[in-house]
Structure 1
Amino acid sequence: MKRPSQSWIADGVVGGVLAGLVVAVWFLVVDSLAGRPFYTPTALASALMRQAVGSPTLRLVAAYTVVHFGVFALLGTAMAGAIAALRTPPRLLLGVLFGLVAQEVAFYAGLALSDASRVAIVPWPHVVAANVLSGFVLMNYLHRAARDQHPFGWTALRGHPLLTQGLVTGLIGAGVVALWFLALDVAAGHPLRTPAGLGAALLFGASNATAVEINLGLVAAYTVFHVVAFFLAGVLFVAIAEQIERTPGLILLATMAMIVLDAVVVTALALGAQWVLGTLGVWSVLVANVLALSAMGWFVWATHPLLRRKLREPVEMRV
């Protein structure tokens, strides 16, 4: 049965406002951890008004807040209308698309139309993370508002073994790396220095060790980024394993892909946080990656009996 337009419009507005609230709270926490509360709305409001960034004022923060929630209400209404027109249930994947496409386009289009050269651009990891999280909140609200009976969230995830196994595999890898660097930091007399340094460099743009202040908030922020990255790696790892189950001859190609992936991680770290890599030492990063791959490989090996059987069979190579 088709829902009245007034219903999905109201749901879209409310869901959009909730999504906007998630983004606002995210950046309030980020700004507070950096010791400059309300910097982000002040900077973005200054960009929209084409003026230099100054100290936060009630006028600037309030003005940007109105624009912020107005844009999110429109985006939420558009998303609710698209779901109603396509007659598809709200899904987490649509939340990802909402965060990575609709919000990213709106955000960077707004910066492009304003005098963005006068404002320090908000670090992209924060933009992506906040937008995706807000997309999840929007979809969750639309799912509840529509009283949809389709599985959603973790229930829907259980219907996709690849994602579930990828999540567990990624958590194992993330835990191994975290314990490795915790041990190194404790041995050096600086507990939690590594996650704090990486968080400061990748999320806040710190350029040297003196700019890093170790605190639980910064460590927690990087931990979220760390776990999400390993979740994606875990999904890729399990997908490769299942492909090898079907085609054992791809084992060599898969091994090369893992080596290349490891090199990409080190390169990305060198480009995004070169001074942190120098502090840690390349060897410690390589050892951490080897330990993570070994632990993830052990889990996949233990939970995929078909993979064990296929790899014990002689591999036929055709030229």
Structure 2
Amino acid sequence: MGRGAVAGVVGAAALAMWFLLVDTAQGEPFRTPAMVGNALVGLEGVEARPGLILLFLALHFGAFILVGMAAAWAVSFLTRVPNLVFGLVLGFLMFDVVFFGSVAVTGVDVVAQLGWVEVLAGNILAGVAMMSFLQLSGAVKAVKWWEAYTANRVLREGVISGFASGFMVATWFLVVDTIQGRPFFTPSALGSVFFLGATDLNQVDVSLWITAAYTPIHYAVFIAIGTAAAALAHQAEEQPPLLIGALLLFVAFEAFFLGIIAVVAEFLLGPLAWWNIAIGNLVGVVVMAGYLWKAHPKLREVMAHDPIENPA
């Protein structure tokens, strides 16, 4: 567990440095530890009290040491670990813990106070730092991305179908935006929400740099969905009724996308129009499904002899 404890310290230090940079950039060094430290004892404001900052740091590093030990224990059962993927998962888990834990312990939504983008990015950074340390220390053997990509058919098909689908959706929105006389409005609007915290149309920054910053998020989401769809396609070769799951995946994706916009950027539902989003996503699904259908001749054979309505 020694390596896990050190990994926790590495993760805690990475997160602390991240927020020190964020706070300094905003002209308020130590704002984050001061705010959380005050919240822990029921005080409001961001006044930097050395004692409370030290209390926060002690709890911060202590919690991360426990997380690092738990992560080391979990990966000890695996022979090969994709450290970036596990780091991302760990970061998302810690984000959830911070969100629910802060409300439960202090009654203060720390995520809202600090900014959910900053908190999520910081926790992902900490998760990747911890997993990278465990890999470098020899606790686990890492999986090289190219090895995983070439050896894993599901991953390969997920990347290809997700990228193709994401490209077609991006093209659809570019065409619609251009026809409406506002090229790159859609990715800029979504990027402004993610990176600038835009809450109304006047705060949307339609620019190439916002579009470029949002693009990796766009493709990452579609690749994740493509991977899930590829996994369903593989399983459906043996169990055709699972294709119903693919349909449910599409419905869930539509609901999720519209729901996310409704929650974090309700003001965009009018300008983007729900039908525009629905058609764009439908185009993406058709491209993804078409690729997977072509890539799985066995699935076509199974469907010809064992259709969904007559499962074996």
TM-score interval, normalised by the smaller of the two chains: 0.7 to 0.9
Unaligned runs of at least 5 residues, structure 1: 1-7
| Cα offset, 1:144, TM superposition | 1.9
In the alignment, what sits opposite 1:317? 309
Residue 202 to residue 80, structure 1, CA distance change in 2 (3 Å)? closer
State the shift of 1:13 in Å.
4.7
Structure 2 residue 297 is the aligned partner of structure 1 residue 305: yes
Q: CA, structure 1 residues 316+73, in 2 after alignment: closer, same or farther (shift >3 Å)? A: closer
Match of 1:74 in 2: 65
Partner of 1:162: 154
Q: Distance in 1 between matches of 2:34 and 2:206?
A: 26
2:105 paired residue among 92, 108, 113: 113
Aligned to 2:175: 183
Alignment of 1:1-319 (within 5 A): 9=2, 11-24=3-16, 40=32, 43-48=35-40, 50-54=42-46, 66-67=57-58, 70-71=61-62, 74-75=65-66, 77-79=68-70, 82=73, 86=76, 88-89=78-79, 91-92=81-82, 94-96=86-88, 98-101=90-93, 104-105=96-97, 108-116=100-108, 120-124=112-116, 127-146=119-138, 148-149=140-141, 151=143, 153-156=145-148, 158-201=150-193, 205-214=197-206, 218-251=210-243, 254-255=246-247, 257-313=249-305, 315=307, 317-318=309-310
1:173–1:106 CA distance, 2 compared to 1 (3 A): same
CA distance in 1, matches of 2:143, 2:288: 29
TM-score, with length taken from structure 1: 0.73
Determine the C-alpha separation between the residues in 2 that align with 1:198 and 1:287: 17
Q: 1:263 to 1:83 in 2, by over 3 A?
A: closer
Offset of residue 279 of structure 1: 0.9
- More displaced stretch, 172-181 vs 196-205: 196-205
CA distance in 2, matches of 1:224, 1:193: 16
Q: TM-score, normalised by structure 2?
A: 0.74
Q: Is the 8 A contact 2:188 2:205 kept in 1?
A: yes
Cα deviation, residue 71, structure 1: 4.0
Write the deviation string for residues 20-52 of structure 1: whole angstroms up to 9, x where unpaired.
35545665777799x677665554344345443
Distance between the aligned counterparts of 2:114 and 2:150, measured in 1?
35
User: In structure 2, what is the Cα distance between the partners aligned to 1:31 and 1:214?
Assistant: 26
CA distance in 2, matches of 1:118, 1:248: 46
User: How far apart, in 2, do the equivalents of 1:103 and 1:269 lie?
Assistant: 20
Deviations 1:276-316 (A, max 9, x none): 12111122111210111122122212322222333444737
How many Å separate the matches in 2 of 1:60 and 1:40?
Answer: 14
CA distance in 2, matches of 1:286, 1:118: 34
Q: Distance in 2 between matches of 1:77 and 1:255?
A: 39
8 A contact 1:249–1:316 mirrored in 2: yes
Question: Does the Cα contact within 8 Å between 1:44 and 1:119 map onto a contact in 2?
Answer: no
Q: CA deviation at 1:139?
A: 1.6
Q: What one-letter code is carried by the residue in structure 2 that aligns with 1:91?
A: V
Deviation at 1:166, TM superposition (A): 1.7
RMSD: 4.1
The percent of aligned pairs where both chains have the same amino acid is 26
Paired letter, 1:302: K
Aligned AA for 1:258?
F
Deviation at 1:209, TM superposition (A): 0.9
Tell me: CA distance 1:197–1:65, structure 2 relative to 1, closer, same or farther (3 Å). farther
Contiguous gaps of at least 5 residues in structure 2: none
